[in-house]
Amino acid sequence: MAATVVRGQNVDIRMWTRPDEVEEFAMRQLQNISALPWAVKHIAVMPDVHYGKGATVGSVIALRDAVSPAAVGVDIGCGMTAVRTSLTASDLPETLRGLRSRMEAVVPVGFGQHRATAFTERDASDWAAFWRKFDDLTPAVKARADKALHQMGTLGGGNHFLEVCLDTDQRVWVMLHSGSRGIGNELAQHHISVARTLAHNAELPDPDLAVFLAGTPEMAAYRHDLYWAQDYARRNRAVMLRLVCDVMRAEFPQILFEEPISCHHNYVAEETHFGEDVLVTRKGAIRAGRGELGIIPGSMGTGSYIVRGLGNPDSFESASHGAGRRMSRNKARKTFTEQDLAAQTSGVECRKDAGVVDEIPGAYKDIDTVMANQSDLVEVVAKLKQVVCIKG
């Protein structure tokens, strides 16, 4: 669909969804974002848009010489990784419970962490240099070094997941969704708090939209910590993927893996749009430059898409990061039961208890509608349906 233009305050708002389908609080946030004096051209709103802290989830914001840490989100570098295997559905056992259990045994979920460090030279060759940079992060996180070490290669909770999927050709894929874990969250919270204290943010309509300005020590400190956390998130997914692929190799000795696809969807990038060098924040959005591969997941009982970007300039070459929530976690818990969860995840080997009812497919927007709304942003490469889903 073509974007709908809504008049903003400093810049307009381009939406790849119907404005009347956006919740009131999220629309108010978008208006607040459009008032930022550093905003360039317009705000791009993805079809999975929903309310978030400071900035809406599903928003793409290009700022001139400024960046808002809340427009990145607290899970810095959160994103997706997927890999297609040589297996087909016929290679999988009749029951997948054992495979799920072995994967859960190697990848800690929820608040879990590894007892010993899980990363190896197979994941990256520069671990020593990467960890040395921890000492240069803000002193506010210095006590978290050991936790960061042992959370490397862990899934977390909430909407993070690890899945085994089948595409429409019955090929088996491994896919996972996670970010920078506790260390990324603490870095984000620290810098959001710092930004709120700066004088140039005093008149903003929402204090959580506070920005750092180019050329200031606060901006330099944030970007230093931000890029480290984005790297942490990328490495975290790589370690988990290797751990899970090792399980698959042990289970299926004949298996081969193609080149993984990986993308952030909570991050900052230095890019050029409409002839201007800008800092782009994608919060709940992936980069979808022409020809670039990306991953757009649905919910734990529906399916996901591998996509190729079309490079639409009006979206700042972006697309949605998933289906997007249509109700809060609290409302989902009050609305749905364990029986509803079992029904909506029928055929998927996964948790079906009260602890994950807030992740039920009914709490999310329809992924196929989301995809239809962004047909001018991406083209579909493959549609996946999970047969195993692991959540914290």
Residues ≥6 apart with Cβ < 8 Å to 65: 38, 213, 214, 215, 279
Distance CA(287)–CA(278), nearest Å, equals: 15
Which of these, 85, 265, 73, 251, lies nearest to 175 by C-alpha position? 85
Instruction: Return phi, psi of residue 12, to 5°.
Output: -80, 170
| Strands 161-167, 42-50: pairing kind | unpaired
Is 321 tagged catalytic?
Answer: yes
| Structural tokens at position 381 | 């490469």
In the block, tokens 């364990």 appear at: 338
CA 266-114-87 angle, to 5 degrees, is: 70
Residue from 50, 150, 177, 321 carrying the catalytic annotation: 321
Residues in the chain: 392
Task: Give the catalytic positions in this structure.
Answer: 321
